[in-house]
Amino acid sequence: MSERPVHELIKELSQVLVQLSDKVLQNFSHSLHAVKHQDAESARQIRRVDDEIDIAEVDLEERCLAFLALQQPVAKDLRTIVTIIKINDDLERIGDLAVHIIDRMPEVNPSMLDSFDFETMGMHAGEMVKKSIRAFVSKDRALADEVCALDEEIDVMHRLVFKKVTMLMKSQDANVDELIAALSISRYIERMADHATMIAREVIYLVTGEIVRHKGDFYENLLESLDE
């Protein structure tokens, strides 16, 4: 590793991160489709792919740690490797969310899901992840800021699902388990958007050196959700 130019090594690690993000996003999308169509074979495939994602995440982290040990980077190069490690962790967690979604499959009636537009919600959250990864590749602070701003849209969608589930539960013939499963799926999508925001904040750190992951509206949103 040490014989190659540092910038080539960093570029290679960045490319591996982008490839991992593509795999994670595809698996997440497949999980929503599998639940909607009660596709057991797709659910099994999603679990297999998640195992591959876990292995890839560990491998990338090990390569980054080896880079730190052998190259001892400073300044921007150091921030880039630290950012890759943190984004890598966020992507792995998004991968776990896909498995959480299919875990809810036995509790879900496809006709009930017609009451909730999870595919649109998932598409918006997925676009946030894509934009955050593009912001990383292009070191685009403005795009990272855009991702952070988009998080509120997903929060609004999740709050609407919460309110709808609460309303439906008041019915005497309500299937509580199904409604809780629907609320959980909404929460998993909302968490995906949260991870996209965290990735965007790491990009801001990469570009500016400013740590912003504990700033913003995370705790405000938490308090708002508790008040509802």
| Contact predicate 194/90, CB 8 Å | no
What's the fold here for domain 6-227?
Answer: Methane Monooxygenase Hydroxylase; Chain G, domain 1 (1.20.58)
For the chain, domain boundaries: 6-227
227 pLDDT band (50/70/90 cuts)? Answer: very low
* Residue 227 or residue 214, greater confidence: 214
**Res 143 pLDDT > 60:** yes
Task: Determine the Cα–Cα distance for residues 203 and 125; give it in Å rounded to an integer.
Answer: 17
Q: Residue 11: pLDDT above 80?
A: yes
Q: Over pLDDT 70: what percentage of the chain?
A: 91
Look at residue 158 and tell me whether its pLDDT is greater than 50.
yes
Structure confidence at residue 72 (pLDDT): 87
Say whether pLDDT at 128 is over 90. Answer: yes
For residues 214 and 23, give the distance between their C-alpha atoms in angstroms, rounded to a whole number.
28
Q: What is the pLDDT of residue 107?
A: 92
pLDDT at 214: 54
DSSP string across 124-165: HHHHHHHHHHHHHHHT-HHHHHHHHHHHHHHHHHHHHHHHHH
CB neighbours (10 Å) of residue 36? 16
Q: What angle do CA 122, 43, 193 make, to 5 degrees?
A: 20
Q: Which region among 14-23, 60-69, 107-116, 164-173 has the lowest average model confidence (pLDDT)?
A: 107-116
Question: pLDDT at residue 217 above 90?
Answer: no
* Residue of 194, 201, 24 whose CA lies nearest to 99: 24
pLDDT at residue 47 greater than cutoff 70: yes
Looking at the predicted structure, is the pLDDT value of residue 195 above 90?
A: yes
Confirm if 36 and 109 have CB atoms less than 8 A apart. no
Is 54 within 8 Å of 92 (Cβ atoms)?
A: yes
User: 209's torsion region: left (phi>0), alpha (psi -120 to 50) or beta?
Assistant: left
pLDDT at 213: 60
Among the listed ranges 3-7, 160-164, 221-225, which one has the minimum average pLDDT value?
221-225
User: Using CA atoms, how far apart are residues 175 and 189, in angstroms rounded to an integer?
Assistant: 22
**How many residues belong to the chain?**
228
pLDDT, tens digit (0-9, with 9 covering 90-100), for 72-110:
888 889 999 999 999 999 999 999 999 999 999 999 888
List pLDDT tens digits, range 171-194: 888 899 999 999 999 999 999 999
